[in-house]
Amino acid sequence: MLALQPRLAGGLAAVLATLSAAALSLTLETAQSFLPARVPSSVDVIANVAGAAAGAFAAALLGRWLLGGPLQRLRAHVLIPGAEADLGLALLGLWLFAQLNPATLLFGSGDLRDVFAGAVGARHEAELFVSIEATITAANLAAVALLASAGARPGAPVFPVIAVLITLALVVKTFAIAIVMRAESVLAWLTPGAVLGLTAGLSFALAAIWLPRTARLALAAILLMAATVLVNLAPPNPYFAAMLKVWQQGHFLNFNGLTWLVSAIWPFAALGYLVYLAAGQRRKPLR
């Protein structure tokens, strides 16, 4: 709806957005007729179209505020213009979404062991796991902070943006754990390794943020890939595994699979984005 609105009137854009959503829903329900495990439903079509219509007409009412209001002014004040910053925002949004997977370590992503390996590795001493968890958390935190700074304008208030981003990620992680465990255990992610990783990662990010942009891009890529390799080599956490055994996913099964998929592919997408930024930096340096 917001993509159509600059070119079409608000009402016409809302109708077109709703019709496109209806066509998509009908196509999906029709395709399910050929799948034995699925049952097409007119109720699903009605619910999808109703939700799409609500979203489209809400955007028609709020579109001017969303496209030209405080959010747009904040984006113009903090970020560079163009698709580079928009793509970075999308990646950061997906990173926040990936934190909804309670089965991952804090900020850990890129775990492909379920795809390429059947059994987990041998268990090790708790001290080793704490060190590995701290390294994964610190490296990913610093990499995300550097990635967020890559799209910022020179002189923009980067530190508050990074602080808000990390805070949102911790809130999302707490929410994800709250789904799995009782209310008194929502801070189960705050392990000794996570505390060490948060401290080290924030300290390193605050220092690295002053580096030239090219150096930040290269350092973010190195940290991202190192953390991804370590995630796939990390020993299993028996305490975390025991906690997840009591989780009855129920209707969250498909949603949990989606969060796992986003978490698994995110570091590789982020690496491609960093390479794209580095190639553009060579053509037209910002500094």
Summarize pLDDT for 105-164 with one digit per residue, the tens: 888 888 887 776 654 555 666 678 888 889 999 999 999 999 988 888 887 888 888 999
Residue 79 has pLDDT above 70, yes or no: yes
Residue 225 has pLDDT above 90, yes or no: yes
Range in 54-58, 75-79, 216-220 the model is least confident about:
75-79
Residue 285 has pLDDT above 70, yes or no: no
Largest CA distance in the chain: 63
Q: Given this model, what pLDDT does residue 282 score? A: 61
Mean pLDDT computed over every residue of the chain: 82
Give yes or no for a contact between 103 and 181, defined as CB atoms under 8 angstroms apart.
Answer: no
Q: Given this model, what pLDDT does residue 239 score? A: 59
Residue 286 has pLDDT above 50, yes or no: no
- Identify which has the larger pLDDT, 74 or 88: 88
- First vs last Cα of the chain: how many Å apart? 36
Cβ-in-10-Å burial (0-12, 13-18, 19+) of 158 comes to buried
Q: Given this model, what pLDDT does residue 287 score? A: 46
Token couple for 187: 């801070």
Give yes or no for a contact between 98 and 263, defined as CB atoms under 8 angstroms apart.
Answer: yes
CA dist 56 → 53, 199, 232, 263, 284 (Å): 5, 43, 42, 29, 38
Residue 188 has pLDDT above 80, yes or no: no
What is the pLDDT averaged over residues 200-204? 93
